[in-house]
Amino acid sequence: MSGFIAIASSKEITLPSEIQEYNDRGLFDTPNKAFSLSKLHEWEEEGTKQIFTMPYIYNTGGVGDEYFWIYIEKYMEIGDVLEIISVPNQCYVYEHVQKILENPEPIIINVGNLTYENYLGCFQLNKKYWIDDLKHRILFTDRGITTIVKY
């Protein structure tokens, strides 16, 4: 079975038209979809609910690609919170979430004050090139939930 990436949000996410138009192109125009959202299967959502604190949960693709960063930079509003986990095998979603809860290694990205924090410490991002800074950092690990906030 394959894995999936789940994202939870403090508010319902509607993809902006520039991202949706890119995703709606034909198969031959774009080999991969950009940042995209869809519903999780019911049992996947149940498995991830125990770790997420945000109410709106989606299956996502393209986390870390260009359009994901466009969404973060241009469309994330003050007070928004996103939580992301990567589940390597959808059959073991409950076991994976339990592993994260037992030995967490969270990543916290604050795009308001431009900080990146993980188990090694807190790092200030470059004010002018913070998106490029984040593109070269780890976004999620096997034992962590990544939280992106804008405060």
For 83-134, write each residue's pLDDT tens digit.
Answer: 999 999 888 999 999 999 999 999 999 999 999 999 999 999 999 999 999 9
* Average pLDDT score, the chain: 90
Predicted pLDDT of residue 24? 80
**pLDDT tens across 48-77, in order?**
999 999 999 999 999 999 999 999 999 999
What integer is the mean pLDDT of 2-30?
84
Predicted pLDDT of residue 27? 56
Residue 9: HSE in the Cβ half-sphere, 13 Å Cα cutoff? 15
Strands 56-61 and 4-9 turn out to be antiparallel
Which has more confidence, 142 or 139?
A: 139
What's the whole-model pTM score? 0.91
Beta-bridge mates of residue 147: 83, 108
